[in-house]
A and B are shown apart, each in its own frame.
Chain A
Amino acid sequence: MGTSDAALVRRVQTGDTRAYADLVARYRDRLGRYALHMLGNREDAEEVLQDAFVRAYRSLASCDDPERFGAWLYGILVNRCRTAGARAARRAQRFVYDPTALERAPSAAPDGRTEWEDVVRWALARLPPESREAFLLKHVEDLEYEDMARLTGAGVSALKMRVKRAREQLRAILKEAERV
C-alpha cells in the first residue's frame, strides 16, 4: 500500500503501462458496485467497467489533475453507464433485471436476505435512470452534491430534486411490494 493514485498515473504517463494494473485493481470493486447497481446486470456492468478503464487509459494523457484520478475515472464510468443504459432501453429491456442470474443465485438464506435482495434489485430497476443515478451517487457512493454535479453535469438543485423523488418513488415501490 502507499503508492498514491497520482504517482501511479504519472508512472503510466511516462510509459510504465504496468502501473495501470494497480489502478485497475484499486478501483475495480468500488466502480463495479456502481455499475452493477446502475445496470442491474453483472455481465453489462463488467463490460461497461472494462470499457471505462480502457477509455480512461486512452485519455490518461489528458488527465490534468492526477490527484483526482478517482473522480475523473468515476466521471467516465457514469457516462458509460448512461450510454449502456440508454442502449439497453432501446433494446426494449426497460428494467435492468437478470432472471438468469437470479435463478443461478444461491437459495435464500434463513434470514430471508436473498428475498430482500430481489426486492432491492427490483425496486432500483423500477427507478428512472436519472433518479437511480442520483440515488446511488448520493446514498450509496456517498458523494457530495457538488461532486455529483461535476460527475453528471446536472445542477445541484436538480440533483437534490432527483434524489428526493428517487426516495419517494422507492418508498412507494417498497410499500407496494409489501402489500401484494
Chain B
Amino acid sequence: MRGSPWSGAACLLAATLVTGTMAAQQIDPRLDRLDAVTRSIVGALVDSAVAAALPTEPLIQRALEGATKRATGEVIVAAVRRLAQDLAHARDALGGTASPGELTAGAAALRAGASPAFLTELRRTRREPLIVPLAVLTDLVASGVPVDSAAHAVVALASRTRDADLIEFRRAVERDIALGAPPAAATAAAAGLTAQSVDVNAGARQQRPGRP
C-alpha cells in the first residue's frame, strides 16, 4: 500500500510540531516572566542541567530573581550560566550522591573562594548533610574571614557538630568581629568554644520560629 506523497512531509511536520510543543512544555512556566529570548536560553541551560543530572531549581530561582529585580536578559543568562558551572564543579567535588541543597550551598562556597578539595574533605569528614557547614563557610568569608581559616575551622568542627551549633559558631564569629576581633582570630576562638560546648549542650531543641 502506497502512501500519499504528502504523508512523509506531514509526518515530519507533525513530528516537528510535537517535538517543538514538547520542548515548549519543558520550559518551566514560571520562566514566562522572562522575555522570549532570555526564556529560551535559560530553558536551554536548564535542559543541559537536567542532562547533566544537576539540580534545576536553583537555576530557575536565579533567573526569577533577575526578572523580579529587572535585570537585563544578558545579565540573567550570565548569572544562570555561571551558577550552572558552579553547580557542576560542586558536584565534581562533593560526588554524585550530593543533594540539590548541598550542591547549591557548595556552589556558593566555591564562589566564595573555597577550594574543591575543601568540599571533598568535608564530604569525607561529615556524615550529616553538608548544607550548613558549606553555608557557614560562605558566610564567614563574606564577613571577612580568610577562606583558609574559615575552611580549617569548619572542617575541624564538621565531623560531629550539629547544624544548630555550626550556625551558633558563625554567629559567635560575627559577634566577635563586630566587637573588633580580627576575623581569623575570632574564628579560631569561636571554633574552640564550640568544640567544647557541643557535648555539654546536647539537650532538646526549640520549636520556636528560627531567625536568619
Contacts and interface: CB of A to CB of B under 8 A. Distances in A.
A92 B211 CA distance: 6
Interface string A102-146: 000000000000000000000000001111000000000000000
A90 B205 CA distance: 8
Contact of A94 (B171, B180, B201, B206): B171
A169 interface: yes
Contacts of B178: 128, 131, 165, 169
Question: For B174, B179, B209, which residue has the most chain A Cβ atoms within 10 angstroms?
Answer: B179
B179 A92 contact: no
A95 B209 CA distance: 11
A129 B187 CA distance: 17
28 contacts: A89-B168, A89-B171, A90-B164, A90-B165, A90-B201, A91-B205, A91-B206, A92-B164, A92-B167, A92-B206, A92-B210, A92-B211, A93-B208, A93-B209, A93-B210, A93-B211, A94-B171, A94-B211, A95-B211, A130-B175, A130-B179, A131-B178, A131-B179, A161-B179, A161-B180, A162-B179, A165-B178, A165-B180
A92 B164 CA distance: 7
Interface of A: 87, 89-95, 128-131, 161-162, 165, 169
Contacts, number: 43
Contacts of A89: 168, 171
Given A90-B168, A93-B211, A94-B211, 15 more contacts: A89-B168, A89-B171, A90-B164, A90-B201, A91-B164, A91-B205, A92-B164, A92-B208, A92-B211, A93-B206, A93-B208, A130-B179, A131-B179, A165-B178, A169-B178
Contact of B208 (A91, A130, A162, A165): A91
